A and B are shown apart, each in its own frame.
Chain A
């Protein structure tokens, strides 16, 4: 059996820019990437729940909103999990951080992805209930969709 991968969009789709990760993943799904060892998921809390979502996969690709103040809205940061602290949804204040959750999963014998790649999109408004994003953040979506699609293509 080939490599199993999961693409997770994190965020809240009814809280303005917070839904950017979900929007990226929905577009990828619409492009028909699902299947052939690739699954999709939408996540709304980090910590234990996110770790449980990632369990069983060889590789995970996460897309999330972030607030660092170091980028303009719509700016994109890429990297591997471990280098990251500023993501909005990898951490659940209701249970624990993703890093703690991953350690828990490993300790209890769960199969967790060898690699977790992440895309963080700097956001502007995450305080207003709306299904619309700010134009800067909306504009960042096609680029991230392309990058994630490229990764998925490489792995095939």
Chain B
């Protein structure tokens, strides 16, 4: 067999290695996407007080500490058997929307967007945010920086700290929002809505109106029919903070709708000998390998899948975009506002921008809700009613994030399990990279930079963040693509130093 390995996956948190195995005829038989192991997360946590978890887990990763913080306080609510007041839930959500806005904005302009705005064959050193500015103008750079700054400010204001929020507590939140802050956040939310609409406009003019890009988006190279997962509210619409988990099959039929705390009844994990990271799959369908289709338990948890499972967006402008999205792909209506799932993986970038708009609109709803300045942000937690198990989940930008803690009767941790956004997508990411490799390697012949770029596009659309999937915070870690022939010899190795 021949093997191809890809190196540094620039613009990807964590480090990875992709080995592509070829058969005697030089065709791709397997693609292994591997990431290094980090040790001792569970033992680091066991023996600590559970209430430390919101400030420990948010240090796992510098990219999405807010998601861990919020999932963690929700797990503690459950553990201590306490229901936070409405205002506390809304403050948590408000911080969380500001986080979604910065995260999705950064992904689009710095990571995912450059592939489209500059084209998939632009030299890698140009496919970054500076290239975007050169092409679209310096004003866009100013807007991205301003968007990040105003939302970081909200996160700091509400979370108590800029990078690692500390204000979440079991039973609520530690600080109330005053009227001056509320007004400031309202203005920021309005600016976010304008920026989200502007970003959708950029996407429309550059991608949707460009036949070559749309051909790429709808090509077989980036197509997988899997189950979709996402959190939905009581009306079946997208929700990032609370609700039930809905899974739909590749045709769009609801497969299951469950409370997040029952995740273990529905999700199992498959182990492969070539990686220590596990592959979650739908228990009731079963693991059938890295394959598409209704008979395969592989599911996806991304912005695209969140749209696929939902009856629509809860806000007006995002709903208009939602309808436009499904109509652009010719998806059939399934009733109740839901459409046949879109399986073109590159459409995830578009879905992410629709979520950006929703997060901005919802931020405005929360900031203008009279309850938001209520001073009663916390209910008292009793230590004599610790349940021994606490499970909390949110939709993180990269997929459903679940925190599961077990404790003794004093609340001392005895077991910790996290299923992070990216982990859900490990199987689809592996399948997507394999599909691209299969499409671009024929009879052992490889197209150099074109292969590398498209493989990167295949996993970048998932916005993978292995720093918490591996429970680590790596800085620059290279990814190497190696091609290994039928004899096990590395015949080609593609590197790219960032």
Contacts and interface: CB of A to CB of B under 8 A. Distances in A.
B44 A93 contact: no
B59 A13 contact: yes
B38 A128 contact: yes
Contacts of A43: 62, 163
B118 to A, nearest CB: 14
A108 B138 contact: yes
B475 A129 contact: no
A16 to B, nearest CB: 9
Interface in B27-42: 36-41
B370 to A, nearest CB: 34
A37 interface: no
A72 interface: no
Contacts of A18: 473
Interface stretch (B85-93, B141-149, B443-451, B480-488): B141-149
B145 A52 contact: yes
Interface residues on A, range: 35 or more
B129 A104 contact: yes
A78 interface: no
B312 interface: no
Given A14-B59, A48-B148, A93-B477, A127 B44 contact: no
Nearest to A65: B475
Interface string A21-40: 00000000000000000000
B149 A94 contact: no
Given A100-B128, A108-B138, A127-B36, A45 B145 contact: no
A51 to B, nearest CB: 9
Interface stretch (B7-15, B185-193, B320-328): B7-15
A107 B141 contact: yes
Interface residues on B, range: 35 or more
Interface in A43-80: 43-49, 52
B152 interface: yes
A25 to B, nearest CB: 14
Contacts of B476: 88, 91, 93
B44 A14 contact: yes
B498 interface: yes
B148 A129 contact: no
Nearest to A90: B475
Interface string B156-190: 00000001100000000000000000000000000
A20 interface: no
Nearest to A45: B62
B106 interface: yes
B38 A129 contact: yes
A6 B111 CA distance: 28
B106 A95 contact: yes
A52 B152 contact: yes
B142 A108 contact: yes
Nearest to B58: A44
B133 A89 contact: no
Nearest to A127: B38
B463 to A, nearest CB: 9
Given A94-B111, A103-B130, A129 B41 contact: yes
A46 B477 CA distance: 13
Contacts of B60: 14
B56 interface: yes
Given A42-B163, A96-B11, A127-B37, A48 B106 contact: yes
A2 interface: no
B472 interface: yes
A109 to B, nearest CB: 7
Given A14-B56, A128-B38, A46 B130 contact: no
A84 B36 CA distance: 24
Among A14, A89, A95, A103, the one with the most B-chain Cβ atoms within 10 Å of its Cβ is A95
A13 B39 CA distance: 15
B59 to A, nearest CB: 5
Interface string A101-116: 0011101111000000
A92 interface: yes
B475 A105 contact: no
Interface string B89-124: 000000000000000001000110000000000000
B62 A104 contact: no
A97 B498 contact: yes
Given A93-B12, A129-B41, A105 B145 contact: yes
B154 interface: no
A96 to B, nearest CB: 5
A108 B353 CA distance: 23
A148 B14 CA distance: 30
Contacts of A126: 472, 474
A93 B59 contact: no
A110 B145 contact: yes
A106 to B, nearest CB: 10
Contact of B44 (A11, A105, A129): A129
A144 interface: no
A100 B472 contact: no
A105 B15 CA distance: 26
Given A105-B145, A128-B40, A129-B39, A93 B13 contact: yes
19 contacts: A12-B62, A12-B473, A14-B56, A44-B65, A91-B476, A92-B13, A93-B9, A93-B498, A94-B11, A94-B465, A104-B130, A108-B138, A108-B141, A109-B142, A127-B38, A128-B40, A129-B39, A129-B43, A130-B44
